[in-house]
Structure 1
Amino acid sequence: MKIEWDSRAVEDLRDIVDYIDERNPVAALKTYQLIAGSVSQLATHPFIGRVGRVARTREMIVNGTPYLVAYCLGDNTVTVIAVLHAARRWPDEF
């Protein structure tokens, strides 16, 4: 499957990496690599994540981080719609 990133998810990832980078550039790079690596697995394993809290979504825990990736499945596409800290309040909709 093809992976697409919604603009919100791109902004989420950028904000996460920028925030961590201010304190620890090495950790920021590692966090980016862990998130990007997890998302890349969705191309071949789109059901790796659990059913999402928001209708018609799925959620994947990014191992080694406190982050979750929310995504939607299309016919031949996985769309990443958000990257959120697990402690944040989850939105009612995307």
Structure 2
Amino acid sequence: MRIRWEEDAIIDLVALRAYIAKDNPAAALSLAERITAKAELLADQPLLGEPGRIHNTRELVVTNTPYTLIYHAAAETISILRVLHQARRWPTGQTL
């Protein structure tokens, strides 16, 4: 399966990396690499995450971080929709 990063997920990843890089650029790079590596696992294991809080999504916790990947698994593509901090107020309703 192919991994596709949606615009909101890219914005989330860039923002969290920039925020952490203010204090520790190496940690920011390491975290971004861990998040993208976890997303890549979905290519072979699309049901790795749990059913999501929003219809037709799944959630995959990035181990040992406070971040969760929100994604949609289709026949040929995994769409990474968001990268959310677990302390954030989560979107409600039908959309992220």
User: Which residue matches 2:31?
Assistant: 31
- Structure 2 unaligned residues grouped into runs of 5+: none
| Structure 1 residues 39-85: Cα deviation after superposition (integer angstroms, max 9, x where no partner) | 00000001010000011000000012100000001111100000000
Unmatched segments (≥5 aa) in structure 1: none
CA distance in structure 2 between the partners assigned to 1:25 and 1:85 by the alignment: 19
SS in 2 for 1:23: coil
CA-CA distance at 1:30 after TM superposition: 1.0
Structure 2 distance, partners of 1:23, 1:89, is 24
Amino acid at match of 1:58: R
Q: CA deviation at 1:16?
A: 0.4
Partners of 1:23 and 1:55 lie apart in 2 by 37
| TM-score, with length taken from structure 1 | 0.97
Q: Residue 47 of structure 1 corresponds to which residue in structure 2?
A: 47
Residue type of the partner of 1:83? V
Pairs aligned (count):
94
Structure 2 residue 62 is matched with structure 1 residue 66: no
Contact 1:34–1:64 (8 Å) recurs in 2: no
Aligned-pair identity in percent equals 39
